[in-house]
Amino acid sequence: MIKLMSVAFAAGLAVFTLGAMPQPAHADQVKVPVMSQGDRDAMTLPRTGQSRASVRQKFGDPVRTSGPVGEPPISQWHYDGFVVYFEYDHVIHAVARHNR
């Protein structure tokens, strides 16, 4: 009788222990390929190679600027909807800003 209770207790303990163990979390992943996060075609952004003067003429004065930093000197012009990166006097990249 005691042996039967021990087996039942061990089985119950095993079931309890397995049920109380943390289960792996499950979450859906959304993968968005680089350069397709925003609708870049819906925005007009400065083109690679444009001069600072042409960017200022077309888009106006930036809200703020950063840099230059490093060698070659990289600077940033921040506009309401995008950031323009310059190397020396020419655009190397323009990035749409995420609206939170």
Q: What is the pLDDT of residue 97?
A: 81
Q: What is the pLDDT of residue 43?
A: 79
C-beta separation of 82 from 74 below 8 A:
no
Q: What is the pLDDT of residue 26?
A: 73
Q: Which residues does the chain have with pLDDT short of 50?
A: 4
What is the DSSP secondary structure assignment for residue 51, as one 8-state letter?
Answer: B
Q: What is the pLDDT of residue 12?
A: 61
Against a cut of 0.85, is the pTM above it?
no
Closest residue by Cα to residue 63 from 80, 44, 46: 80
Domain extents in the chain: 38-96
The whole-chain average pLDDT of the chain stands at: 79
